[in-house]
């Protein structure tokens, strides 16, 4: 028999209420053994006492029952809503542990069972994990959309389109005396070509969905003493980096996470760029350059009182640079390509933030079509595309059919139509306990 699993569904610590979720064939047994409730109406809360197996009352609370298959996991699910206290929780969990065929749930195991019971596909499960992890409004929207099946619909649509054309081809394979008419094979080729273009467009989206999920990377670079760390502290609105008049203060890359108009942003302060023989500082400069080249946006900070050295931005795509002139409190701003600010007084910061927000929004805002959100999906789609390209080459129809089958398999791996055990282990390992 499949084990009945249980876990707190709410975060640890003191709280008004905590929920314990139980899922599996014996869920109702737990309710019968730990409460005086013998019969229960599905999805209706019953107030009762919750007890140990010897009848000692642990707490008073609510019990709820979601019979299979109309539950989150698709199995019988029972929930105890108890008070959120450490002793209460551990006593409930200990009691559940002592029941035969019961065990604590592993990370993501409830969701895994939901996938296995076809309550949701893998992309929806990943959307759910992202929804729990979402820190900003736009991340929440993207995750909710994915959880509600936007990506599944797209990928399953492609899968079904391939299935239809594969069936046509197989019909001709089954009757080898029939030559596949030129018009039919042309139509199939056209459809495969269209599909591969659609997948290519989906892949070439500037990684917007992945950036929204992982955070948009901004690097602050410039000469020593330009005021990079001061700007960082100003943006973060707290004292995260050391500021001093000594040139070469910052060595390590220091990062803070910010929310700009609902978009997640990671800002990195870096070591001042200069030629140096000092070993540690040189390593700092190397890291600063590496950060700048990976970043989605670079804030190039200059000191208005010092001559500029354009070699600082050598090799960085000019499209992703915002030029910032700092220390405007010491001089008069000029009309040029720079955003003039004072990290010290805060002057001009609003303008800079608005410019940053434009950049961020431009590259991450949600589009009508759902965006790719994970490297896992990207890899599978690239694989699918390779098979489609191969299918377009002229060859025996048996081989074309095999290419289409493999292309479908790549799509199936994304949604979980093709279930690979190791894949599930990797995906659900990142989930939280109780999800």
Ligand X SMILES: Nc1nc2c(ncn2[C@@H]2O[C@H](COP(=O)(O)OP(=O)(O)OP(=O)(O)O)[C@@H](O)[C@H]2O)c(=O)[nH]1
Closer of 58 and 301 to Mg ion (Cβ): 301
Where helices occur in 295-420 by DSSP H, the ranges are: 349-364, 375-392, 397-415
| Euclidean distance between CA atoms 118 and 149, whole angstroms | 13
| Euclidean distance between CA atoms 202 and 157, whole angstroms | 14
Side-chain half-sphere CA neighbours of 162 within 13 A: 29
Binder of ligand X out of 225, 363, 371, 400 (CB under 6 A): 225
Q: Is 326 in the site for ligand X (CB under 6 A)?
A: yes
Q: Which does 103 bind (CB under 5 to 8 A by kind): Mg ion, ligand X, none?
A: none
Tell me if 5 sits within 8 A of 24, measured CB to CB: yes
Task: Find the part of the chain contacting Mg ion (CB under 5 A) among 13-21, 64-72, 244-252, 346-354.
Answer: 244-252
Q: Which does 320 bind (CB under 5 to 8 A by kind): ligand X, Mg ion, none?
A: none
Q: Is 326 in the site for Mg ion (CB under 5 A)?
A: no
Residues composing the chain? 435
| Euclidean distance between CA atoms 328 and 52, whole angstroms | 70
Least spacing, CB of residue 306 vs ligand X, in Å: 11
Least spacing, CB of residue 220 vs Mg ion, in Å: 9
Q: How many residues bind ligand X (CB under 6 A)?
A: 23
Q: Is 248 in the site for ligand X (CB under 6 A)?
A: yes
Q: How many residues bind Mg ion (CB under 5 A)?
A: 4
Least spacing, CB of residue 338 vs ligand X, in Å: 13
Tell me if 347 sits within 8 A of 324, measured CB to CB: no
Q: Is the dihedral of CA 91, 95, 97, 102 positive or negative?
A: negative
Q: Is the dihedral of CA 194, 195, 199, 200 positive or negative?
A: negative
Binder of ligand X out of 204, 237, 245, 311 (CB under 6 A): 245
Q: Which does 127 bind (CB under 5 to 8 A by kind): Mg ion, ligand X, none?
A: none
Binder of ligand X out of 217, 250, 371, 410 (CB under 6 A): 250
Number of helices followed by number of strands (H, E) in the chain? 14, 12
Task: Find the part of the chain contacting Mg ion (CB under 5 A) among 151-159, 250-258, 307-315, 368-376.
Answer: 250-258
Q: Is 247 in the site for ligand X (CB under 6 A)?
A: yes
Tell me if 250 sits within 8 A of 339, measured CB to CB: no
Least spacing, CB of residue 272 vs ligand X, in Å: 3
Tell me if 228 sits within 8 A of 221, measured CB to CB: yes
Q: Which does 50 bind (CB under 5 to 8 A by kind): ligand X, Mg ion, none?
A: none
Tell me if 328 sits within 8 A of 340, measured CB to CB: yes
Least spacing, CB of residue 143 vs ligand X, in Å: 35
Closer of 83 and 274 to Mg ion (Cβ): 274
Q: Which does 344 bind (CB under 5 to 8 A by kind): Mg ion, ligand X, none?
A: ligand X
Q: CB count, 10 Å around CB of 97?
A: 11
Sheet holding 4-8, edge to edge: 46-51, 57-66, 77-84, 15-23, 4-8, 102-104
Closer of 327 and 409 to Mg ion (Cβ): 327
Separation of CA 216 from chain center: 13
Binding to ligand X by CB under 6 A, coded x per residue (else -) over 260-299, reads -----------xx---------------------------
Tell me if 203 sits within 8 A of 378, measured CB to CB: yes
Shortest CA distance to 82 belongs to which of 32, 35, 41, 39? 35
State the pairing for strand pair 102-104/77-84: unpaired
Q: Is 229 in the site for ligand X (CB under 6 A)?
A: yes
Tell me if 415 sits within 8 A of 156, measured CB to CB: yes
Binder of Mg ion out of 23, 111, 250, 323 (CB under 5 A): 250
Binder of ligand X out of 211, 228, 409, 435 (CB under 6 A): 228
Task: Find the part of the chain contacting ligand X (CB under 6 A) among 72-80, 181-189, 205-213, 220-228.
Answer: 220-228
Binding to Mg ion by CB under 5 A, coded x per residue (else -) over 220-239, reads --------xx----------
Q: Give yes or no for a cis peptide into 69 (omega within 30° of 0).
A: yes
C-alpha radius of gyration, the chain, whole number: 29
Binder of ligand X out of 108, 209, 227, 412 (CB under 6 A): 227
Would you tell me which residues interact with Mg ion (CB under 5 A)?
A: 228-229, 249-250
Would you tell me which residues interact with ligand X (CB under 6 A)?
A: 224-230, 243-245, 247-250, 271-272, 326-327, 329-330, 342-344
């Amino acid at each position: 028999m499949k084990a009945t699993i249980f876990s707190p569904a709410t975060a640890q610590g003191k709280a008004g209420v905590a929920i314990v979720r139980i899922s599996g064939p014996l869920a109702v047994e737990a309710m019968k053994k730990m409460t005086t409730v013998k019969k229960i109406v599905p999805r209706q809360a019953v107030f009762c006492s919750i007890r140990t197996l010897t009848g000692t009352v642990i707490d008073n609370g609510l019990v709820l029952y979601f019979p299979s298959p109309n539950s989150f996991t698709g199995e019988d699910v029972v929930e105890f809503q108890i008070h959120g206290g450490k002793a209460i929780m551990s006593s409930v969990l200990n009691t559940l542990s002592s029941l035969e065929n019961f065990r604590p749930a592993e990370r993501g195991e409830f969701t895994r069972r939901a996938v296995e019971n076809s309550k949701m596909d893998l992309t929806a499960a990943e959307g759910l994990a992202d929804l729990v992890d979402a820190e900003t409004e736009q991340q929440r929207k993207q995750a909710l959309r994915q959880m509600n099946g936007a990506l599944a619909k797209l990928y399953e649509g492609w899968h079904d389109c391939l299935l239809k054309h594969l069936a046509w081809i197989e019909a001709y394979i089954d009757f080898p005396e029939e030559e596949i008419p030129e018009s039919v094979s042309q139509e199939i080729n056209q459809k495969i070509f269209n599909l591969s273009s659609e997948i290519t467009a989906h892949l070439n989206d500037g990684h917007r969905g992945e950036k929204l999920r992982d955070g948009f990377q901004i690097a602050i670079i410039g000469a020593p003493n330009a005021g990079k760390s001061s700007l960082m502290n100003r943006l973060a609105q707290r004292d995260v980096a050391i500021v001093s008049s000594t040139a070469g203060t910052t060595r390590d890359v220091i990062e803070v996470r910010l929310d700009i108009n609902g978009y997640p942003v990671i800002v990195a302060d870096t070591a001042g760029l200069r030629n140096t023989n000092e070993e540690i500082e040189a390593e700092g400069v190397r890291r600063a350059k590496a950060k700048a080249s990976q970043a989605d946006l670079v804030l190039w900070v200059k000191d208005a009182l010092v001559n500029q050295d354009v070699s600082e931005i050598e090799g960085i795509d000019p499209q992703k640079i915002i030029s910032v002139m700092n220390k405007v409190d010491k001089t008069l701003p000029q009309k040029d390509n720079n955003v003039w600010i004072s990290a010290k007084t805060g002057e001009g910061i609003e303008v800079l933030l608005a410019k940053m927000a434009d950049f961020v929004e431009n590259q991450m805002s949600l589009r009508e079509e759902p965006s790719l959100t994970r490297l896992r999906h990207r890899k599978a789609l690239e694989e699918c595309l390779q098979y489609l390209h191969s299918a377009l080459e002229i060859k025996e129809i048996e081989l074309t059919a095999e290419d289409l089958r493999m292309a479908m398999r790549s799509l199936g791996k994304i949604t979980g139509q093709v279930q690979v055990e190791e894949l599930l282990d990797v995906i659900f390992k990142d989930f939280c306990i109780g999800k």
